[in-house]
A = this chain, B = another copy of it.
């Protein structure tokens, strides 16, 4: 019995049409469009690879292990997106900046929703094990107007290459993090330690992928910033340390030339004394330039 009421069998290409058609009643047109595009490309990739059953099983196992590696402080799918260049691509698509505005980069997996509030001039290094450095800067609009009362969320690895959440046994939560509010002239300043380049976590499936593909896991040294100000589009970015290794081969494809800054040594005894720093001391100046919000964002 051949089931004469049945449609024709699906083949390598009609199965793609059938999968796309299965989404035709999706109420949300955006979801329907995205799923159609995704199914077309995933099927095309499978056909082009001529993926074997064993490889399909390996892919299922890899994705499963990636999901199961995630917890409150670890997001392995973000890491996967990062090392495949997808996070960087999504950033590029969504943040086409005006000339002069600070470029956006990936959020990365180490942002915590609650950076500790700190006062201007505070240190974000709670450990005191390494030479402190000074970071100064302003949050300004693209026309140069200083943005008073702007929020500056900062987080970074330490000179050993670790974020606080990676060593909860030896580092207090909030170390290397701070939430600052700019002064009347849009300025912010704090002391910290110069971050090190570091490997992304390699003890999970993404680390296995890097090993299998002979890729190094390193990110060049950087400090993360999110700057938020009234009437402006927030920017999520990194500032990279100019003399760091791996600036030309960031494991997550996030380096932009405009975001590289010198962390140079300055001989200025008065400033050193004012901030309780040795002299000469290391200093980086980092202006964050925001675009006025587009009309739809203000609505």
Contact = CB atoms under 8 A, between A and B. Distances in A.
Most chain B CB inside 10 Å of its own CB: which residue of A8, A16, A31, A89: A89
A131 B89 CA distance: 59
A170 B92 CA distance: 54
Contacts of A256: 9-10
B262 A19 contact: no
Given A34-B51, A65-B67, A258-B2, A15 B45 contact: no
B26 A212 contact: yes
B28 A38 contact: no
A81 B61 CA distance: 12
A48 B15 CA distance: 21
A43 B86 contact: yes
B39 A41 contact: no
A212 B28 contact: yes
Given A39-B84, A68-B68, A260-B2, A51 B90 contact: yes
Interface residues of A, number: 85
A257 B31 contact: no
B213 A35 contact: yes
B92 A56 contact: no
A298 interface: no
Copies in the complex: 2
Contact of A85 (B6, B19, B70, B247): B19
A88 interface: yes
Would you call the interface of chain A mostly helix, strand, loop, or mixed? helix
A260 B3 contact: yes
Nearest to A55: B34
A6 B257 contact: yes
Contact of A1 (B66, B90, B212, B262): B262
Contacts of A42: 41, 45, 84, 86
A49 interface: yes
A56 to B, nearest CB: 5
A204 to B, nearest CB: 11
B84 A253 contact: no
A113 interface: no
A32 interface: yes
A65 B66 CA distance: 11
B51 A93 contact: yes
Contacts of A1: 242, 260-262
A127 interface: no
A86 to B, nearest CB: 6
A266 interface: no
Nearest to A9: B256
Contact of A70 (B5, B53, B67, B86): B67
A215 B31 CA distance: 13
Closest 6 CB pairs of A and B: A67-B67, A19-B85, A41-B45, A25-B214, A3-B260, A41-B41
